[in-house]
Amino acid sequence: MIAMEKQNDPFAQVGLGAMILFIGIIIAVSSSMYVMINQLERISQSAEETVSIATNEGHTQVVFIGGWIDDAYDDYLIMIEYQSLGKNVQTDEVGWVLWCEHNDQIFRRMGYLGDTVNSAPNGVTIWEVGEDIALPTELISGKRYFVIVDGGTGTGNGAGRACGPEWIFDNGVTAYYSIYLPNGGHTTQEFRVNVFEVGESVT
């Protein structure tokens, strides 16, 4: 029987070590790639969310539908539509300003949608079109609302009748009505009265 001679092959040992090192490198690279891809996905999702928020806020607006003379003193009745790709807004966070200029003097009346005014029906100054006259807690996208706009100056019930329909008709001036949303958007509409009579359109 021939005895087998045991031999050590140094090249085989080097090859085995290189293979282990190679496998280790592959595992390390794979782990690094996983971490990088995961981070890129998170950054991408964050960017998409930011763009989505900006787009939603960018498409939030109040559209003026029409306006009429509401009474023979200082009130307008207007119809607006709230449009948004984002969230609804709280009614009492939506500000407004009615202003006009006459003889180099600026008159301003301001407040928030939903502020009570004595001349409005039951004091309610905004309600959904087609519904009972009741103050909504929020503006809902796609819904239309009637709004009572009270002339005069100051806040609350105001004082006088400046910028109201009769006043701008008598003085031949234009009034401006702006609505300010809590996210920074705003809409401004001109009010002109060509014929002063309750129910007539404001152009």
Say what the pTM is: 0.70
CA separation for the pair 27, 181 (Å, rounded)? 54
- Best CA proximity match to 158, nearest among 59, 75, 47: 75
pLDDT, position 58: 52
Token pair, residue 176, equals 């401006």
| pLDDT (tens digit per residue) in 49-108 | 433 333 344 568 999 999 999 998 899 999 999 999 878 999 999 999 999 999 999 999
List pLDDT tens digits, range 125-173.
999 999 999 999 999 999 999 999 999 999 877 788 999 999 999 999 9
pLDDT band for position 183 (cuts 50, 70, 90): confident
Token couple for 20: 């282990």
DSSP label of 96:
E
Contact 80, 179 (CB under 8 A): yes
Q: Is the pLDDT of residue 5 over 70?
A: no
Judged against a pLDDT cut of 90, whether residue 31 lies above it is answered with: no
